[in-house]
Every structure is written in C-alpha cells, then in structure tokens.
Structure 1
Amino acid sequence: MNKWQIEDLLKDYQWKLQSVKIMRESMNEINVNMTAQYGLQAAMPKASGNPSDPILREVERRDERWKKIHDYEKDIQLIQSKIQKVNNEREVEVLYWLLDGKSMRWIGLHMGLSHTHIQRIKDAVIENMIA
C-alpha cells in the first residue's frame, strides 16, 4: 500500500466502521423476516434473462450488500493490523483521534498544537504504517 491509500483508509475508517455495524444489523433483521419458497413452485424452471422474480432480485441485492460489507471489513482490519506499528505517544494520540473521525483542526485544538503540526504527525503515522 502507498501513502495515499493508507491516508484514504484513515479518513474512511470511522464511517466504514459505522456502516458495517448498521448494514449487519439491517441484514440480520431481513434474515428473520424472509422465508424460503417451498413446494411445487420452487421446483419449477425459471425464465432466463433479467429476473422477474422479486425474491431473486432481493437475494441478488443482499448478496451485493454482503460483498460491500466484506470489502469494508477488509479495509478496517488492514488499518487495525497496522496500528501497533505506531509507537510514539503523540502519534498514537493523533492516530486514535483520526480513527474517531476528528478533523486535524479539532485534534490540534485538543492537543494544543497547530493543525499543520498535526498534519506532520499524521504523515509520520502513515510512514510508520507503511513500514
């Protein structure tokens, strides 16, 4: 991974984490409410082409949603696996605030540093994660 990819993953970490949580909850609710189709109609052949069966379309939509959840989880796990590479106390603090979705200005105000200094610390965090 390069610097920009890790920087993008750090920016997207918080919303991807929240999205996975919400999507998993909604998918589990759907699982409870969906029932399988049994009997003679389930064994009948289906037409080819664009499916007209609303259940099949829903299954395909849900399958795409699970793939998106899996992609988000891979990104989240990648960042989580690289967190231990950051050892400096200030860098760790900046990293955790970034993962919480805070802006560099907010972090700078919180830590009593300028946002440009926070930018330099963030760059050092990314370099540590790449190594």
Structure 2
Amino acid sequence: MVELEPALEAIQRVEQDLRDYHWMAKEIHDIQDWDKHQKQYPREVWESLLGAGTAQYGIEASLPKAQGVNSDVTYREAQKLLRKWERMKRYERKVKKLEASVAMLQDERERAVAEGILGIEDV
C-alpha cells in the first residue's frame, strides 16, 4: 500500500492541473495584458502615482515606523512585479507540459477526453 501512495499523489496532481488549465491560461493572459498596460505610460507617471500613497506629512509622519519592513514604494512594486512574472512563467511551463502531454497520447479516445477537459481543439 505504501508503494501506491506516490502514484496516487501524482495522479491527483495531474488531475488538479487538468482542472486548473483554463484558470492558468486565463491568468497568463491577464498578466500579459497587465504588463502591456503598464508599458504604455512613461516611468515618471508610474513613479508619481506610486509615490502618492506615501505619507510625507500629517499625523502619519509622526507615527513610529515598522522595523525591518522596507517602506520604499518602488521596491515593493518591483517585488510585486517580480512575483507576478515568476507566477506567469510557472503557469506557462505547466500549460506547455499539459499541452505537450496531451499531444503525445496515442489513444485517440484518451486524447479526445483530455482535450475536452482542457477545452482545446488541436494541440
């Protein structure tokens, strides 16, 4: 029974990836669209918008600042962009693996079922 557990886990992981295919493909498209939107404005516009959220006066300026937390707005936005980019690349790898695996299926019926689950016509 112990020898079957890794195989069952792998099957469950593949099943989950098959179910998540549409969601991952949509997320890739959304991140790419978001990136195109970001690039249509000059850097100065984004810096002015990002800097607008930083408290520079008033009561917020007198409150204690958190220790060990980076309050640089540009740094936080760069980290957020990097996380989005890495997520998109991870999803792209999974989607490509799924599409390649479905294309390699020899049994026509299995391929048709897998393509139906993925919602693709031809791989």
Considering the TM-score relative to the shorter chain, is it more than 0.5? Answer: yes
Identify if the C-alpha distance between structure 1 residues 71 and 34 changes in structure 2 by more than 3 Å, giving closer, same or farther.
farther
Identify if the C-alpha distance between structure 1 residues 56 and 33 changes in structure 2 by more than 3 Å, giving closer, same or farther.
farther
The SS at the match of 2:71 is coil
* Equivalent residue number for residue 99 of structure 1: 118
The SS at the match of 2:43 is coil
Provide the TM-score with structure 2 as the length reference.
0.64
Q: Deviations over 1:4-26 (max 9, x none)?
A: 22111111111101110111110
Q: Give the letter aligned to residue 54 of structure 1.
A: V
* Equivalent residue number for residue 17 of structure 2: 9
Identify if the C-alpha distance between structure 1 residues 49 and 66 changes in structure 2 by more than 3 Å, giving closer, same or farther.
same
Query: What value does the CA root-mean-square deviation take over the aligned residues?
Result: 2.3
Q: Give the letter aligned to residue 18 of structure 1.
A: K
Q: CA deviation at 1:99?
A: 0.1
Q: Deviations over 1:79-106 (max 9, x none)?
A: 12212231222222211110029xxxxx
Alignment partners' CA distance in 1, 2:108 and 2:43:
52
Q: CA deviation at 1:50?
A: 2.2
Alignment partners' CA distance in 1, 2:118 and 2:84:
24
Work out the percentage of aligned pairs sharing the same amino acid. Answer: 20
Match of 2:38 among 24, 30, 35: 30
* Equivalent residue number for residue 75 of structure 2: 56
Identify if the C-alpha distance between structure 1 residues 27 and 9 changes in structure 2 by more than 3 Å, giving closer, same or farther.
same
Alignment partners' CA distance in 1, 2:108 and 2:73:
54
Runs (4+) off by over 6 Å: none
Q: Is contact 2:102-2:115 (8 Å) kept? A: no
Aligned length: 91
* Equivalent residue number for residue 71 of structure 1: 90
What stretches of structure 1 of length at least 5 have no aligned partner? 38-47, 102-131
* Equivalent residue number for residue 81 of structure 1: 100
